[in-house]
Amino acid sequence: MTRGSAISLRKVSKSFGALPVLRQIDLDIAPGSFTAIIGRSGCGKSTLLRLIAGLDEPSEGEIHISGKGTKPRLMFQEPRLLPWARALDNVEVGLGFDRGTATGRARAQAALDHVGLGDRLKSWPATLSGGQRQRVALARALVSQPQALALDEPLGALDALTRIEMQRLIEEIWRAEGFTALLVTHDVSEALMLADRVLLIEDGAIGLDLTIDLPRPRRCDIAELAQLEEQILDRLLTQKNAA
């Protein structure tokens, strides 16, 4: 079931002082889709995500997100948990007005169950592993049942095995709930494993727009994925040499 937001950008530009970061971005993101945004460091991919999530305002252009109260929730690379609050209380932070109510408490517990931490409701963040803390952060982002979820390199600090487990969890929850997902990542393989569409940002614009029409769940040894990864990496290396 798809309940995600449709997102459209029209002539969106962003500058910081005299430094242009994004230039005249036109983009339509289908409801319920999974889009990955990749590119070299400093290309503007996280800036694009922050604009869509409403954390920054564009210098020019317009961003439209379908529905009411549909500002995307954002999940960062760091869990950003409150160290003085237990896991369940950290998840409740994402509830807004329902925080502290019996209904909100039940929803927070259900969210932790959904990410496999139903037995760690009373755990302090310091007692959780890195992957567990990110699961709590994911539960916090999802507890309000957002129509869009923006993920800013949320798995970058995890070890390889935990990262694979989190990739599978995010895909599983996305497929079950039907929200619109936007992922910024430096990992081309991760983008191809998770996304329906991969956008490569070059010089503040969309330099490559690839549709990934492959069955799920995907395996990293699929020949088509290897070919797409090689295509993207060649493009990134060309950028480096041109610079």
pLDDT of residue 70: 64
| pTM of the predicted protein model | 0.92
Q: pLDDT at residue 119 above 90?
A: yes
The domain locations on the chain are 1-72+148-243, 80-145
pLDDT tens, position by position, 151-208: 999 998 889 999 999 999 999 999 999 999 999 999 999 999 999 999 999 989 999 9
Q: For residue range 96-105, list pLDDT tens digits in order.
A: 767 878 888 9
In the 3-class helix/strand/coil scheme, how is the chain assigned residue by residue? CCCCCCEEEEEEEEEECCEEEEEEEEEEECCCCEEEEECCCCCCHHHHHHHHHCCCCCCEEEEEECCCCCCCEEECCCCCCCCCCCHHHHHHHHHHHHCCCHHHHHHHHHHHHHCCCCCCCCCCHHHCCHHHHHHHHHHHHHCCCCCEEEEECCCCCCCHHHHHHHHHHHHHHHHHHCCEEEEECCCHHHHHHHCCEEEEEECCEEEEEEECCCCCCCCCCCHHHHHHHHHHHHHHHHHHHHC
Q: What is the pLDDT of residues 208-234, one digit of tens each?
A: 999 999 988 888 788 899 999 999 999
On average, the pLDDT of the chain sits at 91
Per-residue confidence band for 124, with pLDDT thresholds at 50, 70 and 90: very high
pLDDT value at residue 98: 72
Report the share of the chain in percent with pLDDT over 70.
95
Residue 97 confidence (pLDDT):
67
Which band of pLDDT confidence, cut at 50, 70 and 90, is reported for residue 75?
Answer: very high
- Say which CATH topology domain 1-72+148-243 has: Rossmann fold (3.40.50)
